[in-house]
Amino acid sequence: MLVRDAMSTMVLTIGPAHTLRQAARLMSTRRVGAAVVLDPDTCGLGILTERDVLISVGQGQSPDAETAGTHTTTDVVFADPSWTLEEAADAMSHGGFRHLIVMEGNEPVGIVSVRDIIRCWAPSRRRAATLTV
């Protein structure tokens, strides 16, 4: 199975000036764990995750004062839609993160998460276990 089969194509995109509260509200409303942060001034592309928001709040920072741009990961590993799920899982495991922005050319076309991969693998694992019993 490929990344394109598991990824979410509904990509939440925010700007670096969004507050962490605004970002958290948007992520919560859309039920996603990450947002792509586009910085038009630098043509940069990064990711803000629920973990980034949690760390900031846990450090006592104000979600109304802190911005997405301050907490965005810009050293991002991107996935290609044609990667296998094993390749995506390996990249996540080695990098210690749970989301990959999926790029086609210079455009983000999706996000794949650990949860997406598990959803794809779990049914086939149950079927395989049933067949071997």
Q: Please tell me the predicted confidence (pLDDT) of residue 80.
A: 97
Answer yes or no: is pLDDT of 131 > 60. Answer: no
The helix (run of H) or strand (run of E) holding residue 35 is: strand 34-39
DSSP-derived letter for residue 80 is -
The pLDDT of residue 133 is above 90: no
Looking at every residue in the chain, the average pLDDT score rounds to 91
Nearest-angstrom CA–CA distance, 131 and 108: 39
**What predicted TM-score, i.e. pTM, was given to this entire model?**
0.84
pLDDT in tens, 85-117: 999 999 999 999 999 999 998 889 999 999 999
